[in-house]
Amino acid sequence: MSVVLVDAGGTNIGSVRYALQRLGVEAALTSDAAAIRGADKVILPGVGAAAPGMARLQELGLIDVLRGLTQPVLGVCLGMQLLCAHSDEGNVDCLGLIPAPVRHFEAAPGRRVPHMGWNQLQAVAAHPLTEGLDAPAWAYFVHSYAVPVGDWTLATCEYGSPFSAMVRAGNFHGAQFHPERSSEIGARVLKNFLAL
């Protein structure tokens, strides 16, 4: 099985690679369109902001490549948000593969933004990606923008109100949390993705 990590400039690429290595998978880091198209599984990691992330994909000529993929794809953190339709962060159109908006968290007394740290997942749809995520399932988050709950939602998390912690549309999947930093639950999600 060939797995590639899209080299879109995300600062979490190294830690995602190490998490995959712990599962016995060597993932190539690439921005080569042919390598991405030819992989069995594609992971789009990302840490940063939506507008620079989309600009980087544009600069690399990868927007149409990613939109045309038919194999399982997993977006992680910003990578998940880039799979969506539009982000309020920089008011930018994203890849449009998951028909969801990305919105800024509302700050409130006792609830700071960014949402940072461990929080609980709640699987809301039966899907191979959520297999084994029985409560309590804790994952590690760092984000200021989130996807609301909708038809695309596989798992939710609560931070003032529920938001999508995991999403899916067709062969495109996303995890808002960092599986590479989420201990056994993160490893389980990565295993589940690799088994799709």
Q: What is the 3-state secondary structure (H, E, C) of 66-111?
A: HHCCCCCEEEECHHHHHCEEEECCCCEECCCCEEEEEEECCCECCE
The set of catalytic residues is 77, 178, 180
Which run of H or of E encompasses 59? Answer: helix 50-59
Apex 70 CA angle, 69 and 75, nearest 5: 60
Could you report how far apart the first and last alpha carbons of the chain are, in Å? 11
Q: What is the DSSP letter of 188?
A: H
- How much helix, strand and coil, in percent to the nearest 5, is found in the chain? 30, 35, 35
Helix, coil or strand: residue 29? strand
Residue 74 CB partners (closer than 8 Å, separation 6+): 41, 42, 43, 44, 173, 174, 175, 193
